[in-house]
Amino acid sequence: MTEATQGRSRSGRRGRGAKPEAAAPLREVNYRQLKNPFPTMDVFSADEIANMHETALRTLEELGIKVLLPEARKIYAKGGARVDESTEMVYIGRDMVEAAVASAPKSIKGMAGARHRDITLELGSLVFQPGAGAPNATDLERGRRPGSARDYKEYIQLTHHFDVFQMISPQVEPQDVPIHERHYFTSDMQLTLSDKFPFTFSRGTPQVMDCFEMIRDFRGISDDAFQANPWNYTIINTNSPRTLDIPMAQGLIDFAKFGQMSIVTPFTLMGAMAPITVAGSITLSHAEALAAITLVQLTRPGAPICYGTFTSNVDMKSGAPAFGTPSHFQASLAAGQLARHLGLPWRSAAGSASNMNDVQAANENQMGLWGCLMAGATVVIHAAGWLEGGLTVSYEKLVTDAEVLNMVAELCAGKTATADEIGFHNALSEVDPSGHFFASSQTMERYNSEFYEPVVHDYANFGTWTERGAQDTNTRATAVWKSILAADKRPEVDETRVEALRNFIDKRKSEGGAPPES
């Protein structure tokens, strides 16, 4: 602060009887419960959205959806749907859909491991998740590799570290853990290394019931308390076009029965498993989401269900998925319009098809992210760390994307313009013409807390940056994630419950575990 002190002496206006101030307070932030501050943007007119909704209802009535799980077909039939058992096709009337949408909750309280981590999902709220479901992991030091238990654990630690991730995502697949025991490992890691809202895969009823029991007992709650609010969630992907497979249908039923939350997400790629147009692909996605919502509400009226979509286009030269494109952005906007038409909280996604954490990756992820933000998405998945269209999660990209999410979170807080902020007495009147504000009362009170403090960005000039080793952003991001893992900060946990959790896991393993169902 040498320059500031010298400037204050030259101006002569700062020291009129003023006492030296104490150091400015350090900056405190809360990125846990965010509200989207941006006005929503429409891509289609209200009449066009109404027509897309009507076409989705017509699709379910006239074309139907193929449902592979017999139990699900029985639930649909009991609710009034026309079911053709020979073809496994279910034809859902619009009255059933409208009743389901009416009974679906418009606000969902997600119960985390600590009350300050609870989340509320409703239109206008904003929740971020890191990239998820990847079979591979990568970082600059260890390279690209199949996802492992170590990668899963480290990804949980990084997710827990950044407050801007309010939910634990499906992470990276720990392929060195046997599939019939994998849900024990992932539940253990989520519960003991983080107190954020956890994720459970829907890979058959036995695995889901194991996970429910582990979460219930680790949280120390009763069956009734567990079923009163969601304590975990799952993601349900339909098999576009118009197919609901066995584990996904079973997951919708299991989670609904126990009052836990499903996020239904048709994954529709324009020109591949969906029509090539934005309007056509989103109409198909909407129809599939409505079918899933209907199944949930038929199973248990009022069960928590989050509308969702993940729609982008393919590269028509190669057939590969593309993300962060104008069509991806527009599809998010359209999905947001349909979600608001229903009044339901909803999930969208960012992501990147780039093969490394480069400019393409940054551009695609931000384009996809801003599509979600302008669409009013409640939950934004794949908001950080996602590469290769979901085949890989990158440690460095998670850090660099978290930087952007932090900045978005800062915008969520908004600004005020009180007399103290405007600063007539504590700034404007203290500085002479052609002076500077480095040493004004307002600056001295706020220099530690007024501006966002970057995680990985470097604002040094070229000379200073060169003297420090001329490190690029990926190199700095490597240092950031390594320091986070070295610090190994985790929430306080009841060791008695940890012991009970691991005793349960050991017992279930000795009994053979729980193979996935398909």
Return the pLDDT at 26. 80
**Phi/psi of residue 469, each to 5°?**
115, 5
| Per-residue model confidence (pLDDT) at position 24 | 72
Q: Which residues of the chain have pLDDT under 70?
A: 1-22
pLDDT confidence of residue 9: 34
The alpha-helical segments, DSSP class H, found in 133-220 are 149-161, 182-193, 205-219
> C-alpha distances in angstroms, 516 versus 202, 230, 373?
9, 23, 35
Q: Per residue in 159-187, pLDDT tens?
A: 999 999 999 999 999 999 999 999 999 99
Please return the burial class of 418, using the count of CB atoms within 10 Å of its CB with bins 0-12, 13-18 and 19+: exposed
454 prior amide bond cis, ω within 30: no
Mapped onto helix, strand or coil, the DSSP state of residue 347 is strand
Across 191-294, the runs of DSSP E, i.e. the strands, are: 233-236, 243-244, 261-264, 267-270
Count of beta carbons in the 10 Å neighbourhood of residue 459: 7
Say if residues 336 and 348 touch (Cβ distance below 8 Å).
yes
* Nearest in space to 295 (alpha carbons), one of 254, 351, 344: 254
Looking at residue 22, what is its pLDDT? 62
Coil, strand, or helix at residue 362? Answer: helix
- Alpha-carbon distance of 111 to 201, in angstroms, equals 18
User: Exposed, middle or buried by CB within 10 Å (0-12, 13-18, 19+), for 224?
Assistant: exposed
* Main-chain phi, psi angles of 483, to 5 degrees: -70, -35
Task: Report the relative pairing of strands 346-349 and 305-308 from DSSP bridges.
Answer: parallel
Instruction: Give alpha helix (H) positions in 235-277.
Output: 246-257
Structural tokens at position 224 = 């009734």
Of the candidates 334, 234, 275, 294, the one whose C-alpha atom is nearest the C-alpha of residue 103 is 294
Residue 424: CB atoms within 10 A of its CB come to 10
pTM for this entry? 0.93
Residue 473, C-beta contacts closer than 8 angstroms, at least 6 positions apart:
400, 456, 457, 458
Counting Cβ atoms within 10 Å, is residue 312 exposed (0-12), middle (13-18) or buried (19+)? buried
Going by C-alpha positions, the residue among 182, 259, 252, 167 that lies closest to residue 216 is 259
